[in-house]
Amino acid sequence: MKRLILLLFFLSAAQSIAQGDEPLAPSRLPEPVQWLQKYLQIPSVSGEEARAGSFLKELCKSHGLFVKEMGQDDGNYNFTASLFPLEDNKPNIVLLNHLDVVPESENNIFGPYSGVIENGSIYGRGAVDNKGAAIMQLAALVKIKQSENYRESEYNISLLSVSCEETQCPGGIQHVLENFRNELNAAVVIGEGPTEITELLEGEFPKPIFGISVAHKRAYWLELELEIETLGHGSVTPLTYANKELVTALDKLLKKKQKTIFNEVNTSFLKEMAQYRTGLERFVLKHPRFFKPLLVPKLRKSPELFSIFSNTVTLTNLNSSSQALNTNSVVAKAGLDCRLLPETDEVEFEADLRKKLKNDKIKITVVKSTPRNRPSSSKTLFYENLQAAILENYPGVTTMKLIMPNINDMGYFRARDVPAYGTIPINLSRVQAKSIHGDDEYITLKALNDGTNVFYNFLKKMIYHRSSVQTAP
């Protein structure tokens, strides 16, 4: 299970795009592939999304979707593209995606914004996270509009594309929900999440497993600051000075083991994993709360896995008021990336953290705190139909509900009691997973088509839903 984090953070073998050695001409590529290729060729690092957003918005308009602008500037470029006008006020199935990408890496074989197609795969920053996922959603929505009798649907369907997901700036989803929440009228949100997971797990599995996230940890980013007036010259070592006292406090904090917390979602994961084990291990996993003393040491050996069973504290930076090697700094600072399980109270967490530091002179400032939220139920019509769509597209597989250790924009909906489910329903190899936020990010054309089909089948089930009918005829 050591590589579970690769799956949880981001969420198929390469297929030939044509018979023989000659690639298809651009005009012969499937439309969604052409869309993604053009989309990838537009840089959209966080805070610089407007040009990519304009391209996607115009693409939506060209296919007859009803577009509502919700911000038109870099750092806050957002819009919906809907099956029905938002003014109809139908309960809305929101397909959430983000326009922004992380900065390009330095070791790409292909250009970071090339959109090049080679050996059945398309390359470029955002190919999976999150431009590829957005194109799957859009292609599914367009197919519903073009081929299904959707006019009697009880639900609207809206593609919601936002800025600033990667950096969590005040624009993007925060702006949308502060200003357009009622118009959006979200009944459910489908956003980014895990893929097929057995490629990234330890052990053997008789069939593939597709993850659906129903919860995620939330960010609680802290800055620690300690100021101590002291002798300036480094040739004389004071009895106490800022750098020394802060490092000493951090050492005490980071040596303390984080408490293991079992909740409904992470224990459900262990119980699901039991069916893939034998003997005593199987029995222990089926009863995780009873055998918690046995499980905790094993969980701690895998930081990636343990992250969904604990609140984590990571020291991400250290700095001081002086960079000169011969000068004692008056001020020392540290940055902590804390990730909290959904049920954690941040006031109690901060009090416990301060107790572990054992230094009341350290000032703690909350830099970022995403809202508290509850896991979404897996007993809803939305989850059941999403699960069914995955099972239909991939015969013989199974699904598993998961908690994500990273943050994303779905948390802002969960905090408002809107059910939100995360998945990028594709096969993803370890090599592909490593390319996300890394070098030469890519997605196979087969995966792009498979993901589109899953979303289309899910949406088809929803538009034919009636009070007594849950799936399409």
pLDDT tens digit string along 64-75? 999 999 999 999
CA-based angle 395:398:404, to the nearest 5?
135
Q: Which long-range contacts (CB under 8 A, 24 or more apart) does 274-282 make?
A: 276/203, 276/204, 276/205, 276/206, 277/203
pLDDT on residue 131? 98
pLDDT on residue 457? 97
pTM: 0.88
- Quick: pLDDT tens for 367-409: 999 988 899 999 999 999 999 999 999 999 999 999 999 889 9
- Written as one letter, the residue type at 366 is V
pLDDT on residue 466? 67
Query: Residue 326 burial (CB < 10 Å; 0-12/13-18/19+)?
Result: exposed
- Quick: pLDDT tens for 118-153: 999 999 999 999 999 999 999 999 999 999 999 999
**Residue 373: both structure tokens together:** 């939220």
Complete edge-to-edge strand list for the sheet that includes strand 121-123: 117-118, 121-123, 442-444
From residue 117, alpha-carbon distances to 61, 241, 332, 434 in Å are 26, 57, 49, 19
Q: Are 121 and 110 in contact (CB under 8 A)?
A: no
Query: Residue 182 burial (CB < 10 Å; 0-12/13-18/19+)?
Result: exposed
3-class DSSP state of 51: helix
pLDDT on residue 21? 38
pLDDT on residue 108? 86
**Residues of the chain whose pLDDT is less than 50?**
1-22, 468-473
